Amino acid sequence: MIWNREMECIDRESLRQLQLGRLRETLHRVYDKVPFYRQRFDAAGVRPDDLQTLEDIGKFPFTTKTDLRDQYPFGLFAVPKKELVRLHASSGTTGKPVVGGYTWGDLERWTEQVARIAAMAGVTSDDTAQIAFTYGLFTGGFGLHYGLEKVGCAIVPASGGNTQRQIMLMQDFETSVLVCTPSYALHMAEEARAMGIDPTQLPLRVGLFGSEPWSEGMRREIQNAWGIRAFDNYGLTELGGPGVAGECLHADGLHILEDCFLAEVIDPETGEPVADGCEGELVFTTLTKEGFPVIRYRTKDISCLDRRPCPCGRTLTRMRRVTGRTDDMLIVRGVNVFPSQIESVLMEISGVAPHYLLVVDRQGYLDTLEVQVELAEERFVDNYRELEALTTAIRERLKSVLSVSAKVRLVEPRSLERSPGKAKRVLDRRPKD
């Protein structure tokens, strides 16, 4: 199902003209209404009228999370506070949160965007959608709620946590669509089995998962555990929440809603654009936001762009699913290590569960990396030789992929911490310099 055929199947030249007009309007709006952007543009020696083509966006300065936090709470809003009807914010676990403001028009467009993303994954008005994202300042719960409601779904606003109750509701309400983080979806399946319930026998058929990077291996684990199709969707508070991009039924990249967002991929070191298909840092500019427009926001998410036609018929550029973040990168003995690399290895090895923790420490002057990974229930045995062989296989495969040695520690099933939100994958014990 294509929710908005006019925008999702638009020819590329018409889309470029639409983007250019909206981008010009946005640049003028922030220059006139947001002192931060006026000062930043002036310092860079650029004016909104300097934008003649989409490629000219490269003349304008980036916006970073530090910029957003420095303008806390309302310094980047482009409308008077009385015109805002809702405020959301990031978790703010490492400093001031990023605050997003929404006008009525913003909320209407946000709802429409999420409806489009849900329809891409095959969600219809016949579905019952259970939202296991936390409701509150976090954008995920409310964003998916209203978008799925617009599609016509019956909504179960379960919120996060209380996993056994979640399973009960899925049984009793015949939930067919699950919305949560991918790691929590695996935990829910694990809990269902512990309750004597076969997850594959529930009416669930579609999962809409986001809020944290996840691998193709984890997708297979989720789909096998639940007997469903699992789809990725992308968004962040700085861009208004979910509804930036999502997967269609072909699941070969996430279609970016380019009538609402201008996407770039840059080299995170130089800030220069990279060619389509080459990996780099995602950068987004909002094209339709009234309350909180953002120019060239550096997401720190790692991806690449694919402008080839999709068999689904949509002409929108696709972004590869996010594999990690530039600030998630660990440097261990001079080698760049991403948690997503380790997850991909673990997902290929039989006998371990998709739950792991990376512990980085320092002994003397040398960094150490320990990978704690849970054994699968069926492999939790006392056969020392069998466990030693499994440990060796994981350690050798990790060294081959990472080019750095890691200690592998097998732990009991269900012993690592679970969370209804983003999974904690890294514990860095190294002293701060």
Report residue 423: phi and psi, to 5°.
-70, 140
Q: Edge-to-edge strand order for the sheet containing 318-319?
A: 154-156, 128-131, 177-180, 206-209, 229-236, 241-247, 254-256, 318-319, 305-306
CB 427 within 8 A of CB 359: yes
Averaged confidence pLDDT in the chain: 93
The percent helix, strand, coil of the chain (3-state, each to 5) is 35, 25, 40
**Containing H/E element for 30?**
helix 12-33
Question: Same topology for domains 85-327 and 335-428, yes or no?
Answer: no
Pick the CATH number of 85-327 from 3.90.1150.10, 3.40.50.12780, 3.20.20.70, 3.40.50.1370: 3.40.50.12780
Report the relative pairing of strands 330-332 and 335-337 from DSSP bridges. antiparallel
pLDDT for the residue numbered 385: 86
Looking at domain 335-428, its CATH superfamily turns out to be ANL, C-terminal domain (3.30.300.30)
Q: What is the pLDDT of residues 339-367, one digit of tens each?
A: 888 988 999 998 898 899 999 998 876 78
Tell me the average pLDDT across 292-314. 96
CB 86 within 8 A of CB 107: yes
Using alpha carbons only, give the angle 22, 24, 27 rounded to the nearest 5 degrees: 110
Residue 1 scores a pLDDT above 60: yes
Q: What is the rounded CA–CA span in Å between residue 338 and residue 322?
A: 12
Across 84-93, 178-187, 226-235, 383-392, the highest mean pLDDT is recorded for 226-235
Dihedral, 224, 228, 229, 234 alpha carbons, nearest 10: -90
Q: What is the Rg, in whole angstroms, of the alpha carbon atoms belonging to the chain?
A: 22
Where would I find the H helices in 90-202?
104-120, 139-151, 163-173, 182-194
Q: What is the pLDDT of residues 370-390, one digit of tens each?
A: 999 999 887 666 678 888 999
Which residues on adjacent β-strands are paired with residue 221? none
Q: What is the pLDDT of residues 309-337, one digit of tens each?
A: 999 999 999 999 987 788 777 878 767 78
pLDDT for the residue numbered 183: 85
Q: What is the pLDDT of residues 266-279, one digit of tens each?
A: 999 999 999 999 99
Residue 427 scores a pLDDT above 80: yes
Q: What is the pLDDT of residues 185-195, one digit of tens each?
A: 998 999 999 99
Residue 30 scores a pLDDT above 70: yes
pLDDT for the residue numbered 363: 83
Position 93 confidence tier, pLDDT thresholds 50, 70, 90:
very low
Give the global pTM. 0.85
Residue 152 scores a pLDDT above 90: yes
Q: What is the pLDDT of residues 239-258, one digit of tens each?
A: 999 999 999 999 999 999 99
Tell me the average pLDDT across 39-66. 97
Residue 205 scores a pLDDT above 80: yes
Residue 115 scores a pLDDT above 90: yes
185 contacts: CB under 8 Å, gap ≥ 6: 178, 207, 209, 222, 225, 226, 230
Residue 166 scores a pLDDT above 80: yes
Residue spans of the domains in the chain: they are: 85-327, 335-428
- Strands, DSSP E only, in 165-271? 177-180, 206-209, 229-236, 241-247, 254-256, 261-266
Q: What is the rounded CA–CA span in Å between residue 49 and residue 6?
A: 29
